[in-house]
Structure 1
Amino acid sequence: MEQQSTSLARIGTVETSAQRTRGTASVEDLAVSAPTAAGALNLLADAVRRGGADHDDIVQALEAAGVDEAFAGVFDAASERVIGAAGDVRRAFEWL
């Protein structure tokens, strides 16, 4: 009889191109990283759907993996860029 794994998923580390080239991220890096991140999240969602874990086990596994911090980091970085861009637009029209 085949034994099923009780793990949702195990990912040791994920290194993005942005991490490898700190400070030099470009639109091309985002074009590669975003679909890769989406694919990883889809794999995680599939593992949750197929797994027999209950809600508490799922939450514990996601917290242990730092998924909440990763999401927060993405949103923080995006908001910083948007706020910076808004400041650039304001400065461009200061003469008005």
Structure 2
Amino acid sequence: MANSLKSAQFLIESRRSNPAFESAEVCFELGVAYSCGTGDLPVDLVEAHKWFNLAALQGSEEAQAMRAEIAEEMTAREIAEAQRQARAMIATAQLRAA
């Protein structure tokens, strides 16, 4: 059990430290981590929605379903904040690529 917890923490830290979202799979993994409170992360539906949104934008149908599922538990304000954060990440990634 301790090894799986350490593995989950390593995965989360390595993904969060990379400012550019690399793939739909990575974004989806972060969405799951935040929606479930994996490792030492608290459950954070705004963060989870943001990462599921980024994965969905890259074509993940599973992320689309998860985003819709957690949106049912969120306020309109929380959803708007998650979308704002996702747009900001996209804009930052585009600036770095230019």
TM-score (norm 2): 0.35
Q: Which has the higher contact order (CA 8 A, sep 6+)?
A: 1
Q: Which has the higher helix share?
A: 2
Larger Rg: 1
TM-score (norm 1): 0.35
